[in-house]
């Protein structure tokens, strides 16, 4: 006999107890009077008495000692009352939980986020959300832009925090903030002592960029000031994430451009310098699947939309 058949056999031997029978039993146990218990439950006494009798027959035990003047719990009844209360309480808790999940007030919310969002959106947004919806379990995963897009399409994450502009027919996008790029060089680079640099300083330098296939729009935006001038780029390394990009720059393998909000990272190894000329900008966006069925996602998006009117300061 396989496990499923064994479970079926076990279930078939269990008493067929209804929740209303447990409620009637608890009412009688609390009132120690069938008449008052019936009034409390809003039914006539005979049906209540019949339900208690049926319950005893199903359990094959006597739960109450009955006399003409009083009733009392038997030892079996005393033992049963503990579990009856537990079942009723757990049923109520389960009902409230699933109803809260339906309303988006409980349940999980899985968010993929790029490295740089840790220094901008995540701290204030998560703090506000946690205060308003403490029962929602936030799960944060650091992911590249490409990993987030794949995760959204495969329903492995509910929301992505990424760099735009993001254009994808399967995704909806909300732009949270726009910030300028700055040039980043190693602390030993000849330009490191400058307070700002020009396009002419960057043109001849070996450059490190995000792989275009990860996010073509973001990759182009990094060096758009050079692209727009028709200047060929001296790309020496292409990487999938900002962690690697900053590591290569710190090692002196090239320079790059990053969102200004990252300019507090690795300041002992890196220098962040603004451009003299018109500076390209980048968008920090939220992305989610158009067909998302997450109940908690709308709650987060509501806070995000409120937050747009008062974005965090860019360092």
Domain with 78 in it: what CATH number?
1.10.10.10
pLDDT at 160 over 90: yes
Same domain, 196 and 289: no
Same domain, 290 and 167: yes
Answer yes or no: is 315 within a domain: no
Q: In this predicted model, which residue has the larger pLDDT, 69 or 247? A: 247
Contact criterion met (CB below 8 Å) for 111 and 139: yes
Mean pLDDT rounded to a whole number for the chain: 84
List, in sequence order, the alpha helices (H) in 188-296: 199-203, 216-222, 224-228, 242-250
Burial of 174 (0-12, 13-18, 19+ CB in 10 A): middle
Same domain, 200 and 273: yes
pLDDT-derived band at 4, boundaries 50, 70, 90: low
Report which DSSP code applies to 205: S
CATH number at residue 252: 3.40.190.10
Q: How far apart are CA 263 and CA 196, in angstroms?
A: 14
Helix pair 34-41, 19-31: axis angle to 10 deg: 130
Contact criterion met (CB below 8 Å) for 218 and 145: yes
Domain boundary among 68, 102, 136: 102
Answer yes or no: is 184 within a domain: yes
Same domain, 124 and 188: no
Contact criterion met (CB below 8 Å) for 157 and 286: no
Q: How far apart are CA 98 and CA 94, in angstroms?
A: 6
Answer yes or no: is 228 within a domain: yes
Answer yes or no: is 88 within a domain: yes
Same domain, 154 and 287: yes
Quote the pLDDT of residue 256.
Answer: 92
pLDDT tens-digit readout, 167-184: 889 999 999 988 898 999
Dihedral class, residue 135 (left if φ above 0, else alpha if ψ from -120 to 50, else beta): alpha
Residue 225: which domain range? 179-282
Averaged pLDDT, 231-254: 89
Residue in this structure with the two tokens 């960057």, named with its chain if needed = 202
Same domain, 14 and 161: no
Same domain, 160 and 297: yes
Domain boundary among 102, 128, 162: 102
pLDDT at 218 over 80: no
Closest CA to 61 of 25, 7, 91, 27: 25
Quote the pLDDT of residue 117.
Answer: 83
pLDDT tens-digit readout, 122-154: 888 889 999 988 888 889 998 888 889 999 999
pLDDT at 3 over 70: no
Answer yes or no: is 84 within a domain: yes
Q: How far apart are CA 303 and CA 131, in angstroms?
A: 11
Domain boundary among 102, 123, 142: 102
pLDDT at 313 over 70: no
Contact criterion met (CB below 8 Å) for 28 and 52: yes
Same domain, 68 and 201: no
Residue 237: strand pairing partners: 208
Contact criterion met (CB below 8 Å) for 208 and 178: no
pLDDT at 189 over 90: yes
Q: How far apart are CA 266 and CA 264, in angstroms?
A: 7
Answer yes or no: is 313 within a domain: no
Same domain, 165 and 193: no
Same domain, 30 and 12: yes
Q: How far apart are CA 172 and CA 162, in angstroms?
A: 12
Six-digit token pair at 300? 């987060």
pLDDT tens-digit readout, 85-122: 888 888 877 766 676 666 655 578 999 998 878 777 88
Q: Are strands 71-73 and 171-186 parallel, antiparallel or unpaired?
A: unpaired
Same domain, 189 and 273: yes
Number of domains in the chain: 3
Answer yes or no: is 312 within a domain: no
Quote the pLDDT of residue 261.
Answer: 87
Entry pTM: 0.62
Answer yes or no: is 314 within a domain: no
Name the 3-class secondary structure at 223: coil
Same domain, 87 and 205: no
């Amino acid at each position: 006999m396989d496990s499923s058949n064994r479970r079926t056999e076990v279930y078939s031997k269990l008493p067929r107890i209804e929740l209303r029978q447990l409620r009637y039993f608890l009412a009688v146990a609390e009132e120690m009077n069938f008449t008052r218990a019936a009034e409390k439950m809003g039914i006539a006494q005979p049906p209540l008495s019949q339900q208690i009798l049926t319950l005893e027959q199903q359990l094959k035990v006597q739960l109450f000692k009955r006399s003409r003047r009083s009733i009392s719990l038997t030892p079996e009844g005393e033992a049963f009352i503990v579990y009856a209360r537990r079942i009723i309480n757990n049923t109520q808790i389960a009902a409230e939980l699933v109803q809260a999940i339906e309303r988006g007030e409980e349940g999980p919310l899985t968010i993929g986020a790029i490295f740089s969002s840790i220094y901008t959106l995540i701290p204030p947004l998560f703090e506000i959300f946690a205060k308003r919806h403490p029962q929602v379990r936030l799960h944060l995963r650091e992911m590249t832009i490409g990993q987030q897009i794949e995760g959204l399409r495969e329903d492995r994450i509910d929301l992505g925090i990424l760099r735009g502009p993001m254009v994808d027919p399967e995704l909806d996008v909300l732009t949270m903030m726009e910030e300028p790029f700055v040039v980043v060089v190693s602390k030993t680079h000849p330009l490191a002592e400058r307070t700002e640099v020009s396009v002419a300083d960057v043109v001849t330098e070996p450059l490190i960029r995000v792989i275009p296939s990860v996010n073509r729009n973001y990759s182009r935006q990094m060096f758009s000031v050079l692209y727009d001038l028709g200047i060929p780029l001296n790309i020496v390394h292409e990487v999938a994430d900002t962690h690697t990009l900053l590591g290569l720059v710190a090692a002196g393998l090239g320079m790059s451009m990053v969102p200004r909000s990252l300019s507090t990272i690795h300041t002992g190894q890196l220098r962040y310098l603004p451009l003299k000329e018109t500076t390209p900008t980048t968008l920090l966006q939220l992305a989610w699947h158009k067909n998302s069925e997450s109940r908690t996602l709308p709650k987060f998006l509501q806070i995000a939309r409120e937050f747009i009117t008062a974005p965090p300061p860019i360092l």
